[in-house]
Amino acid sequence: MKLETLSQAVGEWLRGTGPESDIVMSSRVRLARNVAHYPFVSRATEQDRADIERFLRERIATAPVGQGLEYIDVGHLEEVDRQLLVERQLISRELAEAQGARSVAIDGREQVSLMINEEDHLRIQCMHSGLDLKGVWEQIKVVDDQIEKVVPYAFHERFGYLTACPTNVGTGIRVSVMLHLPALVITRQIDKVFRSLHKISLAVRGLYGEGSQAMGDFYQISNQTTLGKTEEELVEQVGDVVPVLIDYERRAREFLVRETQQNVHDQVSRAYGILRTAQTISAEETMQLLSRVRMGVLLGLIGDVKISDINVLLVRTQPAHLQKIRGVELDTKDRNIERARYLRQHFEAGGPGARASAN
Amino acid sequence: MKCQKCDKQAVFHITELETGEVRELHLCEDHARAYLNQSEPVGDGDGPEEGKSSGGALVGPLGVGQTADELAVLDQKACGMCGITFFEFRNQGRLGCPHDYVHFEKELEPLIANIHGATTHTGRRPSRGQTVGEAALPEGTEELTAVIGMRSSMKEAISLEDYEKAKEDRDAIRAVEERWLGPPKAQ
């Protein structure tokens, strides 16, 4: 797989389609699995890791799901390419920064990704655009079943699927949805929402994974426990709370329009103005402004921008994507200049379909 | 992070699993030594009052029923397969191999109960398909995991030039792997 092609393509979670996609960016499920006859990754020798990687790659290739997968040897990638995969949510930051033999297998639609030698030997991930947890669960279940036929997963009668960290033991499942909640942030209700989520054992993270600060009002909601409930119950636990959050966000948006229309209109217009005219701009600021513009479009305050375009810009203005698109390595200062140029060209040309020329 | 008893840097991070709850202690070298030697509750002041400060309340119950010797023994307890000690697990938060869940079952159980509010898996179970030879395999994968220990044993035998033992180990590994993974492929 050419990573250059990847940076030009539109990934699954960027499509901006699917149910409730004005608020739900994507739905994702991952399963943590380990083979029974090797030490867990953190205790595995260099040789073990290479053996585990080869064992899994060879075995998975014999399963039907293995046919449509493209393997990427993460250990031998340049840093910018590893970063590119992180930005597309195809690998975790942990896999990007790990040592030794490790890889990822991705299907052509970027829905399924299999990480080998992350914290666990195998992390199966499946992602759909919009709200579709049931669809994602049905798909990943098939992938898991097919791999289980050819790979002996470590399993304990009472504790279930065994994982390197006891926080994942049992089902090994993490169910998550990524939500765009700008109105709850603006109306300062977001902390209250998060506190109530913690009470029902749900975790909240920022857009880019573990412990990172939420950027641009994008939040991931996921289950915290993995043992004692079935996979379906855990999918439901996360799924049940989503309509409630959607309802809160919609009401907050209506409130903003009703009570502070001028303010909101001013805010989103200014955000749009900066994106179209800035000469240098950081990734964080870009994300924050794109978030505001995204809300403005959904509220009908900005007319000539498509939601799918904003989703694409959210990823293409990330550091590694920007460098891949420009075809050169850039330091932070130059990236900020290039990012501003990319945004200006994009909005002048009227969409990412009209490819901005490199110079 | 500072020691809970003084202003020095905490270098010992002790996780207690005693009362079915996870309790953490962060101590400097001196206070950790005092704690482990005397097996007395560590307060965060020198005063005699009990359970007044949060630090005292946190570590108060730890001294009960857990002597320094018992702690030391627990920390030294090592998995026969991957060799990880409980001390290493507590420091890293990651286990060494699937057998740890069997070897440290008693110690892990309260920890798991605390994290998940449950200790029994109720979700999907493996339906062993083509991996299974003619013999029925047990649901748990302990037998296959034992290969990890056999591999270390084989390595050790080789380093001691005990080739007889190394060959025995190799044959034992092959037998288990063949049962679980099917006949070996030509390499």
**Above 80 in pLDDT, residue A103?**
yes
Strands (DSSP E) found in chain B: 12-16, 23-27
Residue A75 φ/ψ, nearest 5 degrees: -60, -30
Please give the C-alpha separations between residue A253 and each of A271, B127, B129, in angstroms, as whole numbers. 17, 48, 52
Question: Highest mean pLDDT: which of A139-143, A193-197, B86-90, B137-141?
Answer: A139-143
Interface membership of A155 toward B (CB under 8 Å): yes
Distance CA A94, CA A173 (A): 17
3-state secondary structure of A301: coil
Mean pLDDT over A50-68 rounds to: 95
Determine the Cα–Cα distance for residues B98 and A40; give it in Å rounded to an integer.
7
pLDDT at A176: 96
Asked if residue A274 has pLDDT above 90, the reply is: yes
- Amino acid (1-letter code) at residue B29: E
Write down the mean pLDDT value for chain A: 90
A195-209: average pLDDT: 82
Tell me if A174 sits within 8 A of B158, measured CB to CB. Answer: no
Residue A54 touches partner B, C-beta closer than 8 Å: no
Q: Does A169 touch chain B (CB under 8 A)?
A: yes
Mean pLDDT (whole number) for A153-164: 96
Residues of A in contact with B177 (CB under 8 A): 37
Closest-CA residue of B relative to A232 is B123
Token pair recorded at residue A67: 């046919």
Element (DSSP H or E) covering residue A249 = helix A231-277
Mean pLDDT of A97-113: 94
| pLDDT at B63 exceeding the cut of 80 | no
Exposed/middle/buried for residue B66 (C-beta within 10 Å: 0-12, 13-18, 19+)? middle
Q: Do B98 and A149 touch (CB under 8 A)?
A: no
- Tell which residue, B30, B21, B97, B29, has the closest CA to residue B59: B21
- Per-position b or e across B99-128, b if 16+ CB within 10 A of its CB: bbbbbbeeebbbbbbebbeebebebbebeb
8 Å CB contact of B122 and A229: yes
Helix residue spans in A66-189 (DSSP H): 79-87, 93-97, 133-150, 182-186
Contact predicate A168/A24, CB 8 Å: no
For residue B54, pLDDT over 70 is answered with no
Residue B53: is its pLDDT beyond 90? Answer: no
Flag whether pLDDT at A211 surpasses 60: no
Which of B115, B126, B130 faces A153 most closely, judged by CB atoms? B126
- Chain A residue closest in CA terms to B177: A37
CA distance B177 to chain A (A): 9
**Coil, strand, or helix at residue A110?**
coil
Q: How far apart are CA A258 and CA B61, in angstroms?
A: 56
Q: What's the gap in Å between the CA of A340 and the closest CA on chain B? A: 41
Contact across the interface for A230 and B123, Cβ inside 8 Å: yes
State the pLDDT at residue B3.
Answer: 74
Mean pLDDT score, A51-64: 96
Residue A208 pLDDT > 80, yes or no? no
Asked whether the predicted pLDDT for residue B94 surpasses 70, the reply is yes
Please say if the pLDDT value at position A188 is more than 70: yes
Q: Tell if the CB–CB gap between A156 and B95 is shorter than 8 Å.
A: no
**Nearest-by-CA chain A residue for B95:** A164
A170 CB within 8 Å of a chain B CB:
yes
Buried b (16+ CB within 10 A) or exposed e, A4-19: eebbeebbbbbbbebe
Vertex B67 angle, CA B63 and B71, to 5°: 105
**Statement: residue B69 has pLDDT above 80:** no
Residue A69 pLDDT > 70: yes
- pLDDT over 90 for what percent of chain B? 43
Which two three-digit tokens encode residue A82? 């590893």
Q: List for chain B the helix, strand, coil content (%; round to 5).
A: 50, 5, 45
Mean pLDDT of all residues in B46-69 = 39
Q: Who has greater pLDDT, A217 or A212?
A: A217
What is the per-residue pLDDT for A167? 96
User: Which pLDDT tens digit goes with each residue over B95-130?
Assistant: 999 999 999 999 999 999 999 999 999 999 987 644
Decide which of B161 and B22 is more confident: B161
Q: Say if residue A226's pLDDT is above 70.
A: yes
H/E stretch holding A346 reads helix A332-349
Asked if the model's pLDDT at residue A350 lies above 70, the reply is no
Test mutation, B145, B148, B176, B180, chain A, max A CBs within 10 A: B145
- Higher-confidence residue of A186 and A1: namely A186
Nearest-neighbour CA in chain B from A144: distance (Å) = 10
Sign for the pseudo-dihedral over CA of A268, A274, A275, A276 = positive
The minimum CA-CA distance between A27 and chain B, rounded to whole Å, is 21
Please give the pLDDT value at position A129: 92
Rounded CA-CA distance B133/B180 in Å is: 7
CA A225 – CA B119 distance, rounded (Å): 11
